[in-house]
Structure 1
Amino acid sequence: MPATIVEGNPNDEQFRRRRELAETAARGALGGVFYVLGWFVVAVCGGLHRREPALVVAGGIVFAALMFARITLARRETADADTIVRLLVCWWTLLLVTAALWGATATWALVDSRMQEARLPALICSVAFGAAFVHTYATRWHYALCGVTLLLLPVVVIAWTVPDFGGVAFSLTVFVVYLLSSLRLSWQQYDRQLLLELALLHQRDLYEKQSRTDALTGLDNRREFTFNLERALTVGEPLSLLLIDIDHFKQINDRHGHAAGDAVLIAFAGQLREHFAPADARVARIGGEEFAVLLAGVGEDAAAASAAALCRRIAAAPLAPDARRGAVTISIGVGELRDSRRQRLDDFLVTVDRSLYRAKAEGRNRVCRVGG
């Protein structure tokens, strides 16, 4: 069984469709040129330009229109999922209409006795176009199968009825069987390559996420916190920062062990997520028992009120291993970045950090503001 894309993952499905559109556009942009050339070669070899010049021009216009439609469609770029689906439908409509039109042209060359000299060029072109469908458009093997069928099935059937054409008909039949087996292999190869690219992308995303995430709590790490703070400095909107320290955390480790301490950190991280879930907040673990919260668009008064509510929440939550309420408390320093153009990042952090240490010096389990 060939490897397949796992259905249901919207990101993987979007990548697959985006890749399919890019592959189809790149491979199909100039393919229409060969159908135009093939038409004129068949028309000239069959003497059609002398008997029915208007038909030659009309056929050339039709194939040329399909060619320019491909070129125009290849220039369309989009990231919208619905638009990508519509563009793929347009592409396969163009490809299959062109295949059907050429299949009819080649069949006509075999049936019409006046087109006898055009039979060999028509068959050569049909073989080439069928091979192109198999090896170029294997992104959707069932559509490619339709294309090969439209191109070659009528030709093969008619070839068996043409006098003295048995050898050619047999060779075409063998070639079609070969194409059908190659089509499945081409699709499997494309699918395996796609899966490999997806695996590499997933691995890259995982490494990137791990480089920005604290492994124990799943919160942002210090690197991500610094990045978000620096970005917030350039935005210029109100920004408040909470620096949080778990009170007497060393005693928890000493009394219950580091595993218990880690459990407290994980539980506290969960409390932070729940408390700041409604707000536009970025929560980070920036040290052992030190945490930070960035509140974009929030002034110092609102941030201090939220911090006080967090203190009460944690004091009432049984986070410690002995499950006593009040066994774990926190101290919080709160500050607002009032003018990002005049305040340096390091100065802002130092100012809020001083308010945190003031909260600890005043007895812990409290909030101290930069603004007093």
Structure 2
Amino acid sequence: MTDAEVPRQPNTFALWREVDDTRIRTRLGGFFYLLAWLLTWGFSASPGSLLASGLLGSILFAALLTARLLHRPHGLDSPVQLQRWLDHHWGLILLTALCWGQAHAWVLYRSEYDDSELIATLATVAFSTAMTFNFAMRRGRALLALALLYLPGLAVMALNWQSMHAMLITLTCYLGYLILVLGRNHREYRATLELELKLLEQQSQLDLLSRTDSLTQLGNRYQFNNLFPSLVANALRQGEPLSLVLLDIDFFKKVNDEHGHAGGDACLSAFAERMRQVFRRDGDALLRLGGEEFGVLLPGTTLAQAREMAERFRQELESEGLQLADQRLKLTTSLGVGSFDKRQDSDADAFFKRVDSALYRAKREGRNRLVAADH
């Protein structure tokens, strides 16, 4: 998965990270369960006389291996889907642990496997250790897996106390160690995840800052340059309307001369706030393109609809002006409005130039007016 595909929401990212870690760490696990069973069966006293149980165990662990390999996390993009995949995959992990725990107990119980019971016991230790170090992200589930792997064999050893008490005590002590290590690994995993989430948050904040005009909190030219071509491509592909409004504050230099740069900044901020009041739909993208020039991208909006909103903005600004601190500033704006037309606009640049030309006509013809781009 590329950086662009990594989820940005904290909850989704945490689940995505766990899914990715689980997928990587469980990839070959099923193979070793099958291998351990084949070795246990193959090095028993008489593999031929144990054909039924040997084949049954081989088929079972081969099926679990296949199920793991086929259960891939493709196309998961929501917390619900990610959690569902984790639940299903953990079901396979726990089922495998249950089957191996029963197989280990069976080997310890049946005298026919005396020659290979050490193989099964060492495999149980190995699987439990791997569980502790690789799947500590879910401590409760990992503890359950350890119990499923370990306890059946310990129960058989307890029934044969006289001959197996040394092994029982040793494995019980090792199980206690694994439980302690599991707790430590779980805390380390959570700490690492928290660090990743903080880095992700910082990256998101930096990305937001790089795309936001610090004065008006509108999108900046960088965001426009990234968003505009994609919206044009989508409009061309979907056949839906896309309109663009370009706005330029009339005689803004006069505002700076009379009120200073602080007054000019206040004017720009108030102008942006007035834009939010008119162009307030969720899909509208409001941007400061530079200086006193602003833009509004209106997906799914026809030219007539865009003209209506833009003209309402112009009229309200002309009649009400802007409130700056304790005084009202009379202000007007010139606007160019256009809608994407694939017959005229070969690409996003051509569309922008057509609307930009309409804005400059509005300024040449006396300002405080709206001009629609030629069709």
Structure 2 counterpart SS, 1:78: coil
Alignment partner of 2:19 out of 18, 21, 37: 21
- Read off the aligned partner of 1:143 and give its amino acid letter: R
Match of residue 35 from structure 2: 37
1:202-351 alignment, distance < 5 Å: 202-234=201-233, 235-236=235-236, 238-278=241-281, 280-317=283-320, 319-321=322-324, 327-339=330-342, 349-351=352-354
2:256–2:263 CA contact under 8 A, matched in 1: yes
Per the alignment, residue 100 of structure 1 pairs with 98
Counterpart for residue 4 of structure 2? none
Counterpart-to-counterpart distance in 1, 2:347 and 2:34: 66
1:175 deviation in Å?
A: 1.1
Equivalent residue, structure 2, for 1:172: 171
Q: Which residue of 1 is the match for residue 186 of structure 2? A: 187
Q: Is the 8 A contact 1:333 1:356 kept in 2?
A: yes
Of 112, 131, 134, the residue aligned with 1:136 is 134
Cα separation, partners in 2 of 1:129 and 1:259, compared to 1, 3 Å: same
Instruction: Report percent identity of matched pairs.
Output: 35
Report the Cα distance in structure 2 between the residues aligned to 1:205 and 1:190, rounded to whole angstroms.
22
CA distance in structure 1 between the aligned counterparts of 2:282 and 2:73, rounded to whole angstroms: 42
Deviations 1:152-189 (A, max 9, x none): 13333443443243332222122111111111222222
- Equivalent pair of 1:110/1:116 in contact (CA under 8 Å): yes
Q: Is the 8 A contact 1:320 1:328 kept in 2?
A: no
Q: Following the alignment from structure 1 to structure 2, what is the Cα–Cα distance between the partners of residues 371 and 10?
A: 41
Consecutive unaligned residues of structure 1, counting only runs of 5 or more, are 1-8
- The 8 Å contact of residues 129 and 178 in structure 2, kept in 1 or not, is answered as yes
2:323 match: secondary structure: coil
User: How far apart in 2 are the matches of 1:88 and 1:21?
Assistant: 6
Change beyond 3 A, Cα 1:47–1:274: farther
* Structure 2 counterpart SS, 1:167: helix
> Does 2:60 correspond to 1:62?
yes
Residue identity opposite 2:266 in structure 1 = A
Alpha-carbon distance between aligned partners in 2 of 1:153 and 1:120, rounded to the nearest angstrom: 16
Tell me which amino acid in the other structure corresponds to 2:215: L
> Contact 1:359–1:367 at 8 Å: present in 2 too?
yes
User: 1:331 is paired with a residue of what secondary structure?
Assistant: strand
Query: TM-score when scaled to structure 1?
Result: 0.85
Aligned pairs (5 A) from 1:101-120: 101-120=99-118
Query: Are the aligned partners of 1:268 and 1:319 in contact in 2 as well (CA < 8 Å)?
Result: yes
Structure 1 residues 239-248 or 63-72, which shifts more? 239-248
Give the partner amino acid of 2:214: A
1:180 and 1:287, CA in 2 relative to 1: closer, same or farther beyond 3 A?
same
**In the TM superposition, what is the alpha-carbon distance from 1:115 to its structure 2 partner?**
3.3
Q: How does the TM-score come out when normalised to structure 2?
A: 0.85
Matched residue type, 2:246 = L
Letter in structure 1 aligned against 2:133: H
- Shift in alpha-carbon separation, 1:166–1:338, aligned structure 2, 3 A: closer
In 2, distance between residues paired with 1:297 and 1:198?
35
Amino acid at match of 2:316: R
Aligned partners of 1:318 and 1:324 also within 8 Å: no
Which segment is superposed worse, 250-259 or 12-21? Answer: 250-259
Distance 1:75 1:339 in 2: 39
Cα 1:76–1:177 shift into 2, 3 Å: same
Change (3 A) 1:330 1:279: farther
Q: Which residue type is aligned with residue 220 of structure 2? A: N
Q: What amino acid is the match of 1:59?
A: G
**2:19 and 2:73 in contact (8 A); partners too:** no
- How many residues matched? 364
Matched residues in 2 for 1:87 and 1:143: separation?
15
Distance 1:194 1:339, change over 3 A: same
CA distance in 1, matches of 2:58, 2:286: 65
Q: What is the distance in 2 between the residues matched to 1:42 and 1:326? A: 88
**Structure 1 residues 346 and 109 mapped into 2: Cα distance closer, same or farther (>3 Å)?**
closer
Offset at residue 76 of structure 1 (A): 4.8
Q: Which amino acid aligns with 1:107?
A: A
* Change in CA separation of 1:133 and 1:363 when aligned onto 2, cut-off 3 Å: same
Q: Using a 3 Å threshold, how does the CA distance of structure 1 residues 133 and 286 change in structure 2: closer, same or farther?
A: same
In the other structure, the counterpart of 1:6 is none
Q: Which moved more, 1:229-238 or 1:274-283?
A: 229-238
Counterparts of 1:231 and 1:83, CA distance in 2: 28
Q: In terms of mean alpha carbon deviation, does 305-314 or 327-336 score higher? A: 327-336
3-state SS in 2 of match to 1:320: strand
